[in-house]
Amino acid sequence: MGKIFILPVKADYHIWYPRGPYGSERGNGKTHGGLDICAIYGTAGLAPEGGLVVWHWFERNGFSKPTVTWPGGTQYDFGAWCASPYGGVAVLYGDSGKIYLYCHMELAQIREMCKQYEISLFEGTAKAGGTPVKVYHTLDNYVRVKAGDIVALMGSAGQSSEPHFHFEGWEGGRRFDPFNLWPEKSKEFVDHYRRE
């Protein structure tokens, strides 16, 4: 799969252990589909490669894969990575074909990214248990970024108990362990940190 040469977080960080690594048990019969990277609130998330990025945010937990109605009545069915427990999400469609998710951003942070890249954030509604909730998305306003550009800010929205990125990797319609892309030297540091 190749190596990440730009880590998604440059600041001091750690992998949330024991339930942070990819594939770890979640206590509900499910395994973790991403990598939880913890650092201070507002830490910048960097693009590991060039690509196109969009942002979205859900008002509260309670649904996944929603169909959203936008102003004018347009309906759009989100993909598997648009679940409300993720809060705000930056989705990077990498030039390599990989897709990277930076989850748990706050709405204010999404607005800040849109302001930085001078794009609009649209408000729509989705149904959650029959109750309409607000959803925000940049829709087709994709932003071209290069490796190392800031694409996310670390928050704690959605199903989260502390500031972190739930960092996911997708390729060919399937999740993969993004930690496999860490350079070996950085991987050894994180493994050591995790065992302390």
Q: Report the DSSP beta bridge partners of residue 195.
A: none
Does the residue 166 lie in any domain? yes
Count CA within 13 A, CB hemisphere, residue 58: 26
Does the residue 47 lie in any domain? yes
Residues of the chain with pLDDT under 70: 1-5, 16-32, 59-84, 127-131, 184-196
Does the residue 3 lie in any domain? no
Does the residue 53 lie in any domain? yes
Q: Report the DSSP beta bridge partners of residue 136.
A: 57, 123
Determine the pLDDT at residue 196: 40
Burial environment of residue 177 by CB neighbours within 10 A (0 to 12, 13 to 18, 19 or more): middle
Determine the pLDDT at residue 181: 83
pLDDT per residue as tens digits for the range 59-103: 665 455 555 555 555 554 554 445 557 888 898 999 999 999 998
109-116 contacts at long range (C-beta below 8 A, 24 or more positions apart) = 109/42, 109/152, 109/153, 109/155, 110/55, 110/56, 110/57, 110/136, 112/153, 113/55, 113/150, 113/151, 113/152, 113/153, 114/55, 114/138, 116/150
Does the residue 29 lie in any domain? yes
Which residues have a Cβ under 8 Å from the Cβ of 185 and sit 6 or more positions away? none
- Residue 39 in 3-state DSSP? coil
The CATH number of the domain where 37 resides is what?
2.70.70.10
Determine the pLDDT at residue 191: 52
Does the residue 1 lie in any domain? no
Cα separation, 183 vs 194, whole angstroms: 16
Give the domain extent around 130: 14-186
Phi, psi dihedral angles at 36 (to 5 degrees) = -90, 115
Determine the pLDDT at residue 192: 44
Q: Which of 69, 9, 45 is nearest to 152 (CA)?
A: 45
- Residue 54 in 3-state DSSP? strand
Determine the pLDDT at residue 25: 58
Task: Measure the CA angle with vertex 114, ends 113 and 117; round to 5°.
Answer: 85
Determine the pLDDT at residue 45: 95
State the total domains in the chain. Answer: 1
Q: Report the DSSP beta bridge partners of residue 100.
A: 92, 169
Does the residue 98 lie in any domain? yes
Q: What is the DSSP letter of 115?
A: H
Peptide bond into 18 cis (omega under 30): yes
Determine the pLDDT at residue 195: 41
Does the residue 27 lie in any domain? yes
Each residue of 138-153: b (16+ CB within 10 Å) or e?
Answer: bbebebebeeebbbbb
